[in-house]
């Protein structure tokens, strides 16, 4: 009974994973040949290396911007659109539209918004006066703002996903709970914090886990918007970009790439466990 | 009871989660300060210094006339007669990285070839760009590879070391191919150890793009672009002081532009070697040499242009457009930038289409790349065509047939006039449409003229280094640090150490 899924899982997940872990103990040439086995020490060396430490730190910062902002905006929009008003469908369609936008398309849009020479945002007079960095050197070229700007494009691109899930979650909350709370004298704000949010728990947990994983694996935005720069600080070189990016020094060494990727897997697995066990206990599944 | 146990469990998990997070943070906080490139390896001081470079950095500076390092006899043969013997149509797949106008022109040449005979049929597969082509090619096994692949000039050594191609020199020998009309420099770029690895096809080099109107406003002759870095400074100063534009020139730090490629070009212009063993052409390079006095002086000059407000750094330039767009900036434009000649055709089309407000295609001028001295030469950029080995004899022979078609004088005349690439052979200049293009629009000829003006110094053949792509990434970081005001000598020293680490790792496993 289990055979078909076991074969598929084994071939496409388990075997490559074990192979990657094994490869992570080796240093190879660009063709993946003439590999020298250096041993498990390669894992500790990579973890402690300057480049990896920098990349994991950038990744954590990126996640800390993308996840809370993404969840807050997604919930906000969903609550706003969760009304029975004429034409609300139009807004729902707009709010969820980014789910149909690929990272590449979203990144290119943001590139043309933020590009300092001809970009739309960069050439609005009052924005320039208030924030000169938008024009010189440009949000994506300043080490202080690059990561935030890339994160913003990522939040925007992920908003449709959060919106749809939270909207579905909201529709699963029985209306009588809100009615009962209203009768007890709870206002809109109070109902949001004491009724809506706790009942959204399972949805939010799922959203947080998925958004975190996505943030840790984000690649397209950095590739298209900043090439992992601005150099020399490598302000947007995340772990994924370090593994595969155009400007990465390890991209031709399959061994080092594997070591780095396996570390990313371990960190993500640890995070997911913490999130599921830690937050999961606090979530009310309604039974 | 139940609730208490749940609470206990919850607390247990919280503790464990806390320990995990704390552990992760501690681990994050403790960095070894070492490079990831040393991971798993013994400390560098225990690695013996390769014998080819003396401890004082003294190296061979001439290319030996003949070498026996990689004789053709040990390499896959070019079975030219196999096409005659093949029955039916030979199907070829060609992986390339040409986009926009370049892809259109390549498609046209290929359609013409396919329609002109019925023995071979070539299918083009655009891989998205050079980087994508490289990764896909090297990570594929022989079964997944195409019959023909286009590789950029910085991949010469790595492709040769992969033992996966038929050296085109073997086909030259087999057919008695007449290469007398070819630009020797174009052929040399793809030679190491006396072996011609691939066929130059799209040859580019960096040229100066400038706005003639700004030159006029600043009281400069719009037909006389600056030739050297000294002149570049004088021109920029005049442009900025007169208020004609906010900046003289826009630099970038992209690795295939100002952060990597231009550096190699400037070294060649200064007749300086970039790497030892005659830029890696007499034997595999063992160390880079760009941290010498010449490099420090060169980058100090470039740095001061930025520091004095005469130049602007547009950053990593991931799209390759930022440096060009700076010329069209409505508020703070730059008057000049350096970019590949391969962009010329596309830029002309974009400007003719009115896509950039206030800038017409007649308004931009082209000059040679300004360099450290009067020496006008440049290195060959762009890419070449490789025949992939082990795809069958008929396929190899058919690939050779198709490649010959792409480098005929007629094809190169069409190709160069459509794209801005330099034709790989001189007789293409006598044929239409290139003859007319070069006569009517001399901007297209600047790249050709500066390439043919190069000297015969060994430094005129660019560096071939196994991990050159990664070294460019290192240099791109260094150049951005220097633009940001970092100490030039120390930055170059550090970049060279990192590059030598890459070379050492590469040479140890190839």
Same domain, B145 and B174: yes
What is the 8-class DSSP label of residue B153?
G
**pLDDT band at B27; cut points 50, 70, 90:** low
**pLDDT band at A246; cut points 50, 70, 90:** confident
- Span B367-396, pLDDT tens digits: 999 998 777 789 999 999 999 998 889 999
Work out the average pLDDT over B9-21: 57
Q: B10 touching A, CB under 8 A?
A: yes
pLDDT at B89 over 70: yes
* CATH number of B294's domain: 3.40.190.10
Q: Record the tokens describing residue A114, joined without a space.
A: 């933020």
Same domain, B89 and B188: yes
Q: Record the tokens describing residue B46, joined without a space.
A: 């225990």
Q: For residue B253, list chain A residues with Cβ-Cβ distance below 8 A.
A: 229, 231
Residue B446 lies in a domain: no
Q: B143 touching A, CB under 8 A?
A: no
Work out the average pLDDT over B249-272: 92
Same domain, B415 and B347: no
Same domain, B126 and B266: no
Quick one: which of B244, B290, B236 has its CA closest to B267? B290
Alpha-carbon distance of B341 to B209, in angstroms, equals: 9
- Kindly report each contact of residues B108-115 with a partner whose C-beta sits within 8 Å and lies 24 or more positions away, as own/partner: B108/B414, B108/B418, B109/B405, B109/B406, B109/B411, B109/B414, B109/B415, B110/B402, B112/B405, B113/B402, B113/B405, B113/B406
Number of domains observed in the structure of chain B: 2
ipTM over 0.90: no
- Span B174-188, pLDDT tens digits: 888 999 999 999 999
| Pairs of residues, one from chain A and one from chain B, whose beta carbons lie less than 8 Å apart | 192
pLDDT of residue A275: 81
Q: Measure Cα distances from B403 to B92, B117, B174, B175, B387 in Å.
A: 11, 14, 15, 13, 9
Q: For residue A29, list chain B residues with Cβ-Cβ distance below 8 A.
A: 161, 506, 509-510
The 3-class SS string of chain A reads: CCHHHHHHHHHHHHHHHHHHHHHCCEECCCCCCCCEECCCHHHHHHHHCHHHHHHHHHHHHHHHHHHHHHHHHHHHHHHHHCCCCCCHHHHHHHHHHHHHCCHHHHHHHHHHHHCCCCCCHHHCHHHHHHCHHHCCCCCCCCCCCHHHHHHHHHHHHHHHHHHHHHHHHHHCCCHHHHHHHHHCCCCHHHHHHHHHHHHCHHHHHHHHHHHHHHHHHCCHHHHHHCCCCCCCCCCCCCHHHHHHCCCCCCCCCHHHHHHHHHHHHHHHHHHHHHHHHHHHCCCCCCC
pLDDT of residue A147: 94
Q: Record the tokens describing residue B195, joined without a space.
A: 């072996």
Work out the average pLDDT over B51-71: 45
- Is A232 in contact with B486 (Cβ distance < 8 A)? yes
Is B47 or B376 the better-scoring residue by pLDDT?
A: B376
- Is B37 in contact with A250 (Cβ distance < 8 A)? yes
Q: Record the tokens describing residue A179, joined without a space.
A: 């009615």
CATH architecture of A3-280: Orthogonal Bundle (1.10)
Range of the domain at B114: 72-203+380-431
pLDDT at A63 over 70: yes
Which residues are paired to B251 by β-bridges?
Answer: B313
Q: Which of A26, A49, A277 sits opposite B17 (nearest CB)?
A: A277
Which residues are paired to A78 by β-bridges?
Answer: none
Residue B277 lies in a domain: yes
Q: Record the tokens describing residue B487, joined without a space.
A: 């100490």
Same domain, B253 and B273: yes
Measure in Å the smallest separation between the Cα of A135 and chain B Cα atoms: 9
Measure in Å the smallest separation between the Cα of A55 and chain B Cα atoms: 10
Same domain, B250 and B176: no
pLDDT of residue B51: 44
Do B231 and B370 form a contact (C-beta atoms < 8 A)?
Answer: yes
- Span A253-274, pLDDT tens digits: 889 999 999 999 999 889 888 8
Mean pLDDT of chain B: 87
Locus of tokens 């607390």: B11
Please state, for a pLDDT cut of 90, what percent of chain A lies above it.
42
Quick one: which of A198, A165, A192 has its CA closest to A178? A192
Which residues are paired to B182 by β-bridges?
Answer: B425
Work out the average pLDDT over A43-71: 94
Is B141 or B112 the better-scoring residue by pLDDT?
A: B112
- Span B304-316, pLDDT tens digits: 999 999 999 998 8
Nearest 5°: the CA angle B441, B447, B451 is 140
Q: A179 touching B, CB under 8 A?
A: no
Is B86 or B414 the better-scoring residue by pLDDT?
A: B414
Q: Which of A34, A42, A231 sits opposite B477 (nearest CB)?
A: A231
Same domain, B234 and B256: yes
Work out the average pLDDT over B409-423: 93
Same domain, B313 and B412: no
pLDDT at B262 over 90: yes
Same domain, B277 and B180: no
Same domain, B96 and B198: yes
- Span B302-353, pLDDT tens digits: 999 999 999 999 988 888 888 998 998 888 899 999 999 988 888 888 888 8
- Is B131 in contact with A223 (Cβ distance < 8 A)? no
pLDDT at B216 over 80: yes
Q: B residues 476-505 near A, CB within 8 Å?
A: 476-478, 480-481, 484, 486, 498, 502, 505
Nearest 5°: the CA angle A261, A104, A73 is 90
Work out the average pLDDT over B71-89: 84
- Is A274 in contact with B480 (Cβ distance < 8 A)? no
Name which of A134-143, B211-220, B397-406 the model is least confident about.
A134-143
- Is B314 in contact with A38 (Cβ distance < 8 A)? no
Q: B355 touching A, CB under 8 A?
A: no
Same domain, B149 and B187: yes
Q: Record the tokens describing residue B335, joined without a space.
A: 């008057």
Q: Which of A28, A118, A140 sits opposite B509 (nearest CB)?
A: A28
pLDDT of residue A138: 86
Q: Measure Cα distances from A159 to A85, B53, B126, B317 in Å.
A: 22, 57, 32, 27
Same domain, B349 and B274: yes
pLDDT of residue A61: 95
Is A280 or A97 the better-scoring residue by pLDDT?
A: A97
Q: Record the tokens describing residue A266, joined without a space.
A: 């371990």
Which of B135, B315, B333, B478 to mutate against chain A (most A CBs within 10 Å)?
Answer: B315
Q: B464 touching A, CB under 8 A?
A: no
- Span A151-192, pLDDT tens digits: 999 999 999 999 999 999 998 888 888 889 889 888 888 888
Q: B residues 215-274 near A, CB within 8 Å?
A: 253-255, 259
Q: Where are the domains of chain A?
A: 3-280
| 3-state class (DSSP) for residue B335 | strand
**pLDDT band at B152; cut points 50, 70, 90:** very high
């Amino acid at each position: 009974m289990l055979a078909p899924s076991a074969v598929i899982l084994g071939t496409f997940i388990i075997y490559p994973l074990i192979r990657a872990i094994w490869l992570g103990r080796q240093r190879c040439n660009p063709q993946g040949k003439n590999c020298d086995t250096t041993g498990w020490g390669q894992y500790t060396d990579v973890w402690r290396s300057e480049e990896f430490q920098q990349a994991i730190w950038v990744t954590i910062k990126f996640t800390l911007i993308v996840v809370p902002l993404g969840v807050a905006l997604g919930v906000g929009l969903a609550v706003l659109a969760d009304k029975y008003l004429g034409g609300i469908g139009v807004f729902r369609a707009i709010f969820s539209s980014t789910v149909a936008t690929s990272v590449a398309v979203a990144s290119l849009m943001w590139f043309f918004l933020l590009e300092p020479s001809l970009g739309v945002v960069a050439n609005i007079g009052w924005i320039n006066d208030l924030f000169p960095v938008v024009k010189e050197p440009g949000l994506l070229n300043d080490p202080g703002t690059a990561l935030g700007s890339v994160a913003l494009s990522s939040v925007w691109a992920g908003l449709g996903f959060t919106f749809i899930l939270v909207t579905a979650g909201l529709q699963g909350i029985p209306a009588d709970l809100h009615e009962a709370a209203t009768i007890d004298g709870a206002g809109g704000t109070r109902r949001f914090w004491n009724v809506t949010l706790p009942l959204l728990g399972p949805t939010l947990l799922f959203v947080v886990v998925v958004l975190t994983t996505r943030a840790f694996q984000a690649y397209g935005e950095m590739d298209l918007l900043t090439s992992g720069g601005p150099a020399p600080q490598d302000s947007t070189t995340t772990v994924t970009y370090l593994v595969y990016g155009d400007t990465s020094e390890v991209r031709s060494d399959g061994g080092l790439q594997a070591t780095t990727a396996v570390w990313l897997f371990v960190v993500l697995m640890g995070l997911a466990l913490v999130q599921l066990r830690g937050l999961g206990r606090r979530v009310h599944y309604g039974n | 009871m139940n609730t208490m146990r749940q609470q206990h469990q919850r607390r247990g998990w919280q503790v464990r989660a806390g320990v995990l997070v704390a552990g992760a943070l501690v681990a994050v906080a403790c960095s070894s300060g070492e490079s990831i490139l040393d991971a798993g390896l013994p400390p560098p001081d225990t690695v013996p210094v390769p014998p080819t470079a003396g401890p004082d950095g003294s190296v061979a500076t001439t290319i030996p006339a003949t070498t026996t390092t990689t004789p053709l006899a040990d390499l896959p043969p070019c079975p030219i007669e196999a096409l005659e013997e093949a029955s039916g149509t030979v199907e070829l797949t060609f992986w390339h990285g040409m986009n926009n106008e370049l892809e259109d022109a390549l498609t046209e040449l290929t359609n013409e070839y396919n329609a002109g005979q019925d023995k071979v049929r070539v299918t083009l597969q655009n891989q998205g760009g050079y980087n994508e082509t490289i990764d896909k090619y090297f990570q594929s096994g022989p079964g997944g590879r195409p019959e023909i692949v286009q590789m950029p000039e910085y991949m010469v050594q790595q492709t040769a070391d992969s033992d996966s191609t038929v050296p085109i020199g073997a086909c030259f020998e087999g057919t008695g191919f007449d290469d007398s009309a070819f630009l020797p420099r174009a052929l040399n770029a793809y030679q190491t150890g006396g072996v011609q690895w691939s066929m130059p096809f799209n040859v580019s080099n960096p040229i100066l793009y400038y706005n003639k109107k700004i030159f006029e406003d600043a009281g400069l002759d719009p037909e006389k672009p600056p030739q050297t870095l000294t002149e570049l400074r004088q021109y920029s100063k005049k442009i900025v002081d007169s208020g004609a534009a906010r900046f003289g020139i826009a630099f970038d730090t992209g690795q295939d532009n100002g952060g990597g490629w231009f550096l190699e070009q400037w070294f060649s212009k200064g007749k300086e070697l970039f790497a030892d063993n005659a830029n890696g052409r007499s034997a595999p390079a063992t160390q880079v040499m760009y941290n010498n006095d010449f490099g420090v002086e060169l980058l100090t000059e470039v740095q001061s242009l930025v520091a004095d407000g005469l130049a602007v750094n547009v950053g990593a330039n991931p799209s390759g457009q930022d440096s060009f767009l700076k010329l069209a900036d409505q508020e703070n434009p730059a008057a000049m930038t350096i970019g590949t000649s391969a962009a010329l055709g596309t830029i002309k089309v974009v400007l003719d289409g009115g896509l950039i407000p206030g800038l017409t295609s007649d308004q931009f001028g082209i000059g040679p790349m300004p360099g450290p001295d009067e020496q006008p030469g440049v290195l060959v950029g762009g890419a070449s065509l490789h025949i992939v080995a082990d795809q069958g004899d008929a396929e190899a022979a058919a690939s050779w047939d198709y490649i010959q078609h792409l480098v005929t004088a007629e094809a190169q005349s069409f190709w160069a006039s459509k794209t801005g690439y330099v034709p790989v052979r001189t007789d293409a200049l006598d044929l239409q449409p290139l003859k007319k293009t070069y006569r009517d629009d001399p901007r297209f000829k600047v790249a050709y003229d500066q390439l043919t003006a190069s000297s015969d110094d060994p430094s005129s053949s660019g560096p071939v280094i196994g991990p050159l792509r990664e070294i460019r990434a290192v240099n791109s970081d260094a150049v951005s640090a220097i633009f940001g005001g970092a100490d030039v000598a120390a930055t170059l020293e550090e970049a060279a150490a990192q590059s030598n680490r890459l070379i050492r790792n590469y040479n140890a496993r190839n």
